[in-house]
Amino acid sequence: MVSCKKSPEFVNPVYVCECGSMAWQGDVFELLDANYIQPDTANFLSRRYYITAEVNLEGETQAHSVNMMLEVDSVDKESFFVEDDPDLLALIEEINFNDPLDTLVQYVPIAGGIEINPAILGGTEVVSFDFILKRWQNGTLVGFNVPFSGSFKVQVLF
């Protein structure tokens, strides 16, 4: 016995986490994903967050995203500032396949900070950030100041 069934072509659904947004280059973009890990297994208050959003501009046909890694030693305090807090680490990457000469651009915050509403015993943890970025190229800060802000939430599980 032989049978055949014709199905419509598969279209991959767009993943949107409804977990926050970011302001980038004058526009607001919904996040595709926000998650965290506990980088120090001996310290349950340590956090490393990851967020990503598609930031395609009009006319772009290839992938264009902004990703951020944000790490703090402990969420036992609510505010962290770039200028005076060595416990705050952040790296922002813009990946743009529409620009073959500059596909990956890395940025670091030079000013600003974050606020965390921690979920110490588990639950929804809310993080807001407001940074001024500079491009990081070959170990040097270059270019103009870039404002970058937003907020996101993650579900902390224990």
The per-residue pLDDT string of the chain (158 residues; one tens digit each, 9 = 90 and over) reads: 666 666 676 655 566 688 999 999 999 999 999 999 999 999 999 999 999 999 998 888 999 999 999 999 999 988 999 998 888 999 999 999 999 888 999 999 999 999 999 999 899 999 999 999 999 999 999 999 999 999 999 999 87
Tokens of 92: 């922002």
CA distances from 80 to 59, 68, 111, 114, 128 (A): 38, 16, 11, 5, 11
For residue 7, how many other CB atoms are within 10 A of its CB?
5
The CA distance from 53 to 14, in Å, is 12
Q: What pTM was estimated for this model as a whole?
A: 0.87
**What three-state secondary structure class fits 70?**
strand
